[in-house]
Copies of this chain bind each other. A is one copy, B any other.
Amino acid sequence: MIDIIHRVGIKAPVAKVYEALATVEGVAGWWTRETTGVSRPGGNIGVRFLRPNGEQMGGMTMDVVALDPNKAVRWRVSAGPEEWVGTDVTFDLSQAGEYTIVLFGHKNWREAVEFTAHCSMKWATFMLSLKELVETGRGRPSPQDIKVDDWN
């Protein structure tokens, strides 16, 4: 199985970082403004990505598998791009001095394809967006996200 993993350090208390990951409002502040649903174990959240003209580019449903306060958030993808369905998205939190460390994983891809490499870049930009959101109050969720290539 293929995993995307990223490490980011955020100068903020762990509770603030956890809130940005464990609530629909939080996720809407760094991933995509079009985030809906119920963030609790057994619930799911839906994310949609729009083009500047409002047309939908893509979307996914993430089943909320675990919410462990100030420690971990885990989702399983139940709908979306074929390569994503059945994969796991995980955020593990710890503290290092004045930083909250987020170990991000998008795990259990069936193979490493060009789309995996694209998603690895996009996740990195969204982790920078999460860091900005928590540190400054303003992230870069879609459609204000950083564009990395011809796909998005």
Q: Is there a chain B Cβ closer than 8 Å to A120's Cβ?
A: yes
Given contact pairs A99-B149, A101-B149, A7 touches B118 in the complex (Cβ within 8 A): yes
Query: In the complex, are the beta carbons of B148 and A8 less than 8 A apart?
Result: yes
Cα A114 to Cα B102 in complex, Å, equals 10
Stretch at the interface among A16-24, A53-61, A63-71, A122-130: A122-130
Cα A9 to Cα B4 in complex, Å, equals 19
Contact with B along A1-34 (1 / 0, CB 8 A): 0011111110000000000000000000000000
Interface positions of A from 57 to 114, Cβ below 8 Å from B: 96-97, 99, 101, 103-104, 112, 114
**Distance of A93 from chain B, by nearest CB (Å):** 13
Cα A103 to Cα B112 in complex, Å, equals 12
Cα A7 to Cα B104 in complex, Å, equals 18
* A-side interface mostly: mixed
Contacts of A114 in B (CB 8 A): 7, 103
Query: In the complex, are the beta carbons of A4 and B120 less than 8 A apart?
Result: yes
Query: In the complex, are the beta carbons of B117 and A149 less than 8 A apart?
Result: no
Contacts of A3 in B (CB 8 A): 112
Query: In the complex, are the beta carbons of A9 and B101 less than 8 A apart?
Result: no
Query: In the complex, are the beta carbons of B9 and A151 less than 8 A apart?
Result: yes
Given contact pairs A3-B112, A112-B3, A112-B5, A150 touches B120 in the complex (Cβ within 8 A): no
